Structure 1
Amino acid sequence: MKKNSLRNTGLAIALGSILFSGSMFAQNAPESPDQPSSTATSHHHDRAYRHKMAKQMHEKMQRLMDKQDEELKKLVNEMNKAPKDQKLDKAVELLNTLVNQRIQMHEEMKSMHRHMMNLKEHHE
């Protein structure tokens, strides 16, 4: 339950960051219908591009989480099957892996956020 909660929290933060960035883009949307159609077309292309990028980042994040989940399942299995004299070593290995995965996930989210901010600056 705790693992799924952490996974969902990471995904929610990543998606929130993407959506927040998208809402910042929307501030530059044409506000009146009398603006040239090229501006509206350009806005549509920018929006479609941002959507495509967000989808790709979401899929990348999902693959990373799936890979990490499999690694954790394997380590938990090994820990549970280990003889008593090796349980502590297996628990330490599992804990170290959890911490490293969390750091990796934070780095990935920071990278995604930087990428979205660069897109925003590029399309302003």
Structure 2
Amino acid sequence: MKMKKLKYLSCCFAFGSLLLSPVFAQNPPESQADPQAQSSSSENSHPHGKAYRHKMAREMHEKMQRLMDKQDEELKKLANEMNKAPKDQKLDKVVTLLNTLVNQRIQMHEEMKAMHHKMMGNHKEHHE
């Protein structure tokens, strides 16, 4: 019985650690921190440069917000199931929730990388 309780507490600790770790606490490098400070005269001379980038950023932000809202709903549902589960099923629910958190974090990082590549690709197009 003590071993089962120890496993349960270990899983809860790992789960709690993941929940408390900052998902988006990565600070951008100084070179990306202030995009306006880096704008060149060729960007400013492009008639639709700023408006286009603003529209693209807004669309990406809205897409990311929809993804996060969807993921949050899934996590709320799984957390509710975990909290309501009988003791003999609780660990299974914790594992499901933890796996979902890990998969969502990986998915979010992939989305962020894709957006970064898209922005950098469009940024290069405007300078060519």
Question: TM-score range, shorter-chain basis?
Answer: 0.7 to 0.9
Deviations 1:73-116 (A, max 9, x none): 00000001111100000000000000000000000000000001
Measured at CA, do residues 96 and 76 of structure 1 come closer, stay the same or move farther in structure 2, by a change above 3 Å? same
Residue 57 of structure 1 is matched in structure 2 by 60
Distance in 2 (CA, whole Å) between partners of 1:47 and 1:113 is: 17
Inter-CA distance 22–112: structure 2 relative to 1 (3 Å threshold):
farther
Report the TM-score when normalising by structure 2: 0.71
Structure number with higher relative contact order (C-alpha < 8 Å, ≥ 6 residues apart): 1
**Structure 1 residue runs without a partner (length 5+):** 31-38
The count of corresponding residues between Structure 1 and Structure 2 is 109
> Which amino acid in 2 is paired with 1:59?
E
- Greater CA deviation, 88-97 or 44-53? 44-53
Please say if residues 21 and 116 of structure 1, whose CA atoms lie closer than 8 Å, have aligned partners that are also in contact: no
CA–CA distance in structure 2, aligned partners of residues 122 and 25 of structure 1: 19
- TM-score under structure 1 length normalisation: 0.74
| CA distance in 2 between partners of 1:56 and 1:86 (Å) | 41
Ranges in structure 2 where 5+ consecutive residues have no aligned partner: 1-17
Structure 2 counterpart of 1:84:
87
1:120 and 2:123 correspond: yes
1:29 is aligned, of 26, 36, 41, to 41
Kindly report the root-mean-square deviation, in angstroms, between the aligned alpha carbons of the 2 structures.
3.1
